[in-house]
Structure 1
Amino acid sequence: MNTQLHPAWYNQLLTHASKIPAIPMAVVHPCERQALRGAIDAAAAGLIEPLLIAPLAKLRAIADDEDIDLDAYRVIDVPHSHAAAAQAVELARSGQVKALMKGSLHTDELMAAVLNSQTGLRTERRISHVFAMDVPAYPRPLFITDAAINIEPTLDEKRDIVQNAIDLAKTLGIVQPKVAILAAVETVNSKMQSTLDAAALCKMADRGQICGGTLDGPLAFDNAISPEAAASKGIHSAVAGLADILVVPNLEAGNMLAKQLQYLAGAQAAGIVLGAKVPIVLTSRADSASARQASCAIAALILHAKVN
């Protein structure tokens, strides 16, 4: 099974990100080998200036096992993962860090602090997650959204989910991303809400409510990514068989799709949360250090695009 991002895309991300200043990033509770190693590797690559927030005893034990010198990095000692999340969000609110990175705590713990209406990092845009996936059998990067944050998004929420993904793809060099709105079928069916939402999203793009990408849907997974499958069903569009972005109907579908690609197709996934006041590197606790490093590169490129 492939365990690395395709060299061309992975190297492109790292090369572009290495040409810009390292970003100050709060690493939230990196009390597991891959979580800490990913942050340290990203720092060594010149991508981030990590601020490690965790119980010091736990952090030092992992660092000793990994032969990492903690004295080379800034560390904030906190009693537990909840405190680490709250501290990281406060540092982002005050501008002391420009991005966050999820360590070994659960996603819900970090996002509860991020989404707090009084002390969190909300903006007018809906917060959503994008997997930037490198699938060995697919000829280009594949972005999947949302498989981690929004459980059953409404049409309005899907609008923001789509726009967030388009903005990310454009930041990473895809001029006019092709967006496939996924459903189980490729025709509109009044009994299947996902097909109605897909049709509405495409019309919203026609009316300028979604900008910067080319949308089509509903599309089934096969005719979204396979030109042969699209042709066999008589589907002719600028997106069918050529999708850059796959928009799933709900979190369960997205989570299963992303994990199937990882564990059955050898894909590697970088993960990023968009729509907050700062980008948030959010990967699975089981993801490799290289996936975390690629996610840091994406966060750095997002921040660089905002100020240029």
Structure 2
Amino acid sequence: MYKTTFKVFLSFTAILFMSCSSEENSTTPETVNDSRLPDQEVFKPAIQLVPKTLLNTTAKSTAKSAETSNKHLTSEISYKISKDNLGNEIESNPSENRYSYDNKGRLQSIDRYRNNAFVGNISKFDFNDANKVIKTYYADIVAEINNGGFISKVTSTDGTVTDIFYDEIGRDIKEVENGTYKVYLDEIDKNGNLTNQTAYVNEQKTTYIYSYKGNKVFVNIEMNQKKYPRIVKDNQYEFKDKTTTITYELTVDYTKAGIYSSEPIFRCYIYNWMHILDWKTKSVSEGITEYEMRYDYEYIYDEDGYLKQSKRTTTNILNPNSPLSITKTNYWYK
């Protein structure tokens, strides 16, 4: 008799990190100054799409801020951190992002390198003569931009489409992703040898709902997978819909800028344009907690308010005895 197992490959993208439309009535939110948004004048963002000198702005600036307005991030390198027996930090698994700019100083592309070898493109940007982003790409994924400069739709190469909605000040409040998931069914004989593998594909819909209270951001994610296969016994399967709920709770500091600028195109990149202090996430499916994690962040800025170093410490809440995972990122400018 054949024993059959299956491996799950989810085809959806974590939209919180990748994507972000206007509200359901299709109105375009205005870019406004609001206490509920980060204060980019206090701490400079590490990445700016367009230098402030190219923007028509009436914002007050000091001679010092004008002098540093064209400071560009050129590279960031992230390391996994461990400690030796003497408590010294050991850096391993380096990964580098390199930033290139056009002749006007506008961010043009972000590329990934490992061991000084090109891995692939992360993001690309196209501008018009008014220094407005008209197209943006994430590797082979195309993001559409509405008239207000907000990312309104993201289409992945596998056909997954995500629509994003904002409130009146440009905060991400809802994302709806329609795509598929893929399951591989492996047939294994009595000797444990793989004899056949069949791909099973069905519909998947994921909805992200964002809410904001004080210095907290809450994200409730519900993922529905149609006719998800479950092995029962004797090479028999049961196909039933599966629902997974994932929750995020982020603590942020609105008085400081995140890694990116607060330009509308980045409003959906919460972990970039907000200054996050800690982040808790939990995944529950059919009453069973699949994982529960906590991320704590530390930041170091230079004298001009540009980000020099960030550190993220990951704690496995379900298994508090497991070792901490630490990632450190250093940033360079010109």
- Tell me the TM-score normalised to structure 1 length: 0.28
Report which of the two has the higher share of strand. Answer: 2
Structure 1 or 2, whichever has the larger Rg, is 2
**TM-score with structure 2 length normalisation?**
0.27
State the structure with bigger RCO (CA 8 A, min sep 6), 1 or 2.
1
Pick the structure with more helix per residue.
1
